[in-house]
Structure 1
Amino acid sequence: MKILMLLPELDEGGVERHVIMLSDAMQQAGHSVDIASWGGKLEKQLPRGIQHYKVRVHSKNLLTLYWTAREISRLVRKNGYDVIHAHARAPAWAAMWVSRATKTPLVVSAHCSYGNKSKWIYKPHRSASAVICVSESVRQDMTTCFSDNAIVIRNGLPPAPSWETPIKAEATKLLFIGRLASVKGLQDALHALAQVRSEKLWTLDVVGDGPMEQDLKNLTKELGLKDKVHFHGFRDDTDQWMLNSDCLLFPSYREGLSLTLARAIQMGMPVLASNIPSVKELSAGEAYYPEPGDIPAWSTALTSLVEGQMPQSDFIPKKIPTVTQMAANTLGVYAGVLNRSDAKANGELS
């Protein structure tokens, strides 16, 4: 098969890393994959053989997306793609118009639950041959926005190194990895850490960048945490940061299925996570998880952590598929879509 992946950008984020891993696995399985996006720092991580086309699919202006769709349609006709796979809402609009213009089947991935559930926004999802949700929690939360074409394929990951308790240091080493945006909840973790009353020492390493970076640095100073909280920007060696830390903080308000959380679970690393559906989906459902935004609850949990009591999570690593399994399941969706498309073209389906 020849597949064209569409996503807004190739900057830092779970969607970008997901597309890169998925495309690489499909290519290794003998398929041809190209990517269209506005580009970004992760372009350098694209596997050999995958062509990248820079197009304005990151725009939220429908007129811009319409003209971008015309450009992509020419690309689809030239390269003869069998399937168009859009990741995110804006590229899905362009992909819908391309699909109609070129008669190429469309698949859309839903990587998270959105607060805005206005039906018109998700017209491309309902018109797609299939919608792939990265978790059951996404499928259930967005069910009114999609038609009956939604299925679940969880994000997969490559084999992970095993986490072992780091050599005891003077301070408990906490870690946050992610995009610096309000939905990730780091601002709450900082407020909660400022309320920790313990003689034990701790530090927090923040790995990632994003729109709230400067605001979070300012907040760190205002809370008197400048000497304990260290911002390191975007890094591509996150496994090593996990191996060298005592506990991952995951205070998110909303997630589809976080690759960072999944990686920590794979590795066996202690995690203090918020009580959101996608977190509970990866657990046995019996451990305690503080509510997102509940600063007193997070402060209590963090105090216990700093005092040496690691979170008693009940995550189930087997719930996270391999990249190969994820790719095989996705290719199975493509095959089903193409079979239905052929049957319809031959008059076998109404």
Structure 2
Amino acid sequence: MTRPDRKPTVLQVIPDLKTGGAERTTVDVAKALIDAGWGAIVVSQGGRMVEELEAIGATHITLPVKSKNPVQIWRNAAQLQKVIRENGVDLIHARSRAPAWSALWAARREKISFVTTYHGIYNQTNALKGFYNSVMARGDAVIANSEYTANLIRQRHPFARDRITVVHRGSDLTALAPESVSEDRKAALRDNWGIADKRPVVLNLARLTAWKGQRVVIDAMAELARSGDTKTIAVLAGDSQGREAYLWDLRDRIARNKLQKRVFLVGHCSDVPAALALADISVVASVEPEAFGRAAVEAQAANVPVIVSDLGAVPETVLAPPEVIEDERTGWRVPPGDHVALAVAIRMALGLSDDARNDLTDRAANHVRASFSVESMCAATINVYRQLLGR
């Protein structure tokens, strides 16, 4: 328990700060801590988001915490102990498995609170992998980013059942609103992508990895082309993160379907609101369960109709029949990996009248404002910290 006359300091640990939902959440929580007058430290191996983190007043410390080497994980625990002692850290929050083991050992040795966030659906094919994953359920408090994730933790790690708190991942909804994006930003991004004006744009915002389903999007575009659609284009915006074989596979798939002028691989996108402002539809085509699905939330916040794979946590983020009636729909859910169903949903979304589209996007925006703001996420996270620290 911290002294009542001193603001606490929280140390977050994450493999790197390159891109991704967990990384975005780390920076958002750090900013909320600084705004509340608390101390905020992040340990990672670095990345493009470090500059943003330091600009808000948080401290970044570079350590090799991405390593899964058991010896390095053990050494990292000692390094984290040093960070804890030198900076008066009161609580350590781990957001990935390898650094979580180091953080757990450091927290126990230094007798400070240990929090985890279960950000992903970690593969668990054997007992050894189950033990490795279990560190994410060993926190004094365990944060799940969706009810889907919370249920998974309960099934896998029953010992953590009473320590789970659901905190939905939050987004900066104000920045995502269409009126927040200038015409200059949209024009600059359009020029950067090399896409023509006034063509329907299907946007897929996801790092380039097979389970995110970019192949399904390409196949759906081929299906649209076969049905006579000559206008719609798709933008696949995401970093390959070194997966060159997968990148070449996508390029080959585009070429084999003669879609070079219809499907664009544009790399990492740093201006997500502008990307969504250029989109007519946003597609989340994952073929494995999403623990949360931030891209779907952000599309709805940006007034963009969204189509998602029907698995994982998406029933929490995108409302659709049969869970709700048609008049409460906020997007479409299609079977994962089904490019024909995806093409049908794209045609349906593009065929909406202006009034029907506005009704849909208004419902969707209201839905995410009620549940998925960055402010509510940060407040709930800091409340977890307060409970552990007696504040």
Q: Which residue of 2 aligns with 1:273?
A: 308
Within the candidate set 79, 86, 95, 1:87 is matched to: 95
Q: Give the residue type in structure 1 aligned to 2:375.
A: T
Q: Which residue of 1 aligns with 2:325?
A: none
Q: Which residue of 2 aligns with 1:239?
A: 273
Percent same amino acid at aligned positions? 25
Question: Alignment RMSD, CA only?
Answer: 2.5
Q: Which residue of 1 aligns with 2:27?
A: 20
* Structure 2: runs of 5+ lacking an equivalent: 1-7, 187-195, 322-328
Task: Give CA-to-partner distance per residue, 1:79-102, whole Å, 9 cap, x none.
Answer: 110000001112111111111221
Within the candidate set 52, 69, 76, 1:68 is matched to: 76
Q: Which residue of 1 aligns with 2:382?
A: 331
Within the candidate set 260, 263, 276, 1:226 is matched to: 260
Q: Which residue of 2 aligns with 1:203?
A: 233
Quick check: 2:221–2:234 contact (8 Å CA) kept in 1?
no
Q: Which residue of 1 aligns with 2:222?
A: 194
Q: Please state how far the C-alpha of 1:244 moved relative to its aligned partner.
A: 1.5
The residue matched to 1:206 in structure 2 has which SS? strand
Quick check: 2:77–2:105 contact (8 Å CA) kept in 1?
yes
The residue matched to 1:187 in structure 2 has which SS? helix
Q: Which residue of 1 aligns with 2:369?
A: 318
For 1:199 and 1:329, locate their aligned partners in 2 and report how far apart those are by CA, in whole Å.
46
Q: Please state how far the C-alpha of 1:182 moved relative to its aligned partner.
A: 1.2
Mapped pair 1:143 → 2:150:
no
Quick check: 1:160–1:263 contact (8 Å CA) kept in 2?
no
For 1:145 and 1:279, locate their aligned partners in 2 and report how far apart those are by CA, in whole Å.
21
Alignment of 1:1-350 (within 5 A): 1-46=8-53, 47-116=55-124, 118-146=129-157, 147-148=160-161, 149-158=163-172, 159-163=174-178, 170-196=198-224, 197-210=227-240, 211=243, 212-252=246-286, 253-286=288-321, 287=329, 288-305=332-349, 315=364, 316-339=367-390
For 1:151 and 1:162, locate their aligned partners in 2 and report how far apart those are by CA, in whole Å.
29
Q: Please state how far the C-alpha of 1:199 moved relative to its aligned partner.
A: 3.6
For 2:167 and 2:57, locate their aligned partners in 1 and report how far apart those are by CA, in whole Å.
25
For 1:157 and 1:29, locate their aligned partners in 2 and report how far apart those are by CA, in whole Å.
19
For 1:213 and 1:279, locate their aligned partners in 2 and report how far apart those are by CA, in whole Å.
26
For 2:77 and 2:22, locate their aligned partners in 1 and report how far apart those are by CA, in whole Å.
21
Quick check: 2:177–2:273 contact (8 Å CA) kept in 1?
no
* Structure 1: runs of 5+ lacking an equivalent: 341-350
Question: Per residue, is there more helix in 1 or in 2?
Answer: 2
The residue matched to 2:390 in structure 1 has which SS? helix
Matched residues, number: 339
Which of 81-90 and 254-263 deviates more? 254-263
Q: Please state how far the C-alpha of 1:247 moved relative to its aligned partner.
A: 0.7
- Aligned pair in 2 of structure 1 residues 186, 78: CA closer, same or farther (>3 Å)? same
- Aligned pair in 2 of structure 1 residues 321, 26: CA closer, same or farther (>3 Å)? farther
Q: Give the residue type in structure 2 aligned to 1:162.
A: A
For 1:319 and 1:189, locate their aligned partners in 2 and report how far apart those are by CA, in whole Å.
30
Quick check: 2:114–2:140 contact (8 Å CA) kept in 1?
yes
- Aligned pair in 2 of structure 1 residues 161, 339: CA closer, same or farther (>3 Å)? closer
Task: Give CA-to-partner distance per residue, 1:265-311, whole Å, 9 cap, x none.
Answer: 11221111111232111234425511111222223223444556798
Q: Please state how far the C-alpha of 1:134 moved relative to its aligned partner.
A: 0.9
The residue matched to 2:203 in structure 1 has which SS? strand
Which of 295-304 and 242-251 deviates more? 295-304
Q: Give the residue type in structure 2 aligned to 1:66.
A: W
Q: Give the residue type in structure 1 aligned to 2:290.
A: E
For 1:330 and 1:173, locate their aligned partners in 2 and report how far apart those are by CA, in whole Å.
36
- Aligned pair in 2 of structure 1 residues 78, 116: CA closer, same or farther (>3 Å)? same
Which TM-score applies when normalising by structure 2?
Answer: 0.80
Which of 181-190 and 277-286 deviates more? 277-286
The residue matched to 2:318 in structure 1 has which SS? coil
Q: Please state how far the C-alpha of 1:333 moved relative to its aligned partner.
A: 0.8
For 1:256 and 1:175, locate their aligned partners in 2 and report how far apart those are by CA, in whole Å.
21
Which TM-score applies when normalising by structure 1?
Answer: 0.89
Q: Give the residue type in structure 1 aligned to 2:344.
A: T
The residue matched to 1:280 in structure 2 has which SS? helix
Q: Please state how far the C-alpha of 1:36 moved relative to its aligned partner.
A: 0.3
The residue matched to 2:170 in structure 1 has which SS? coil
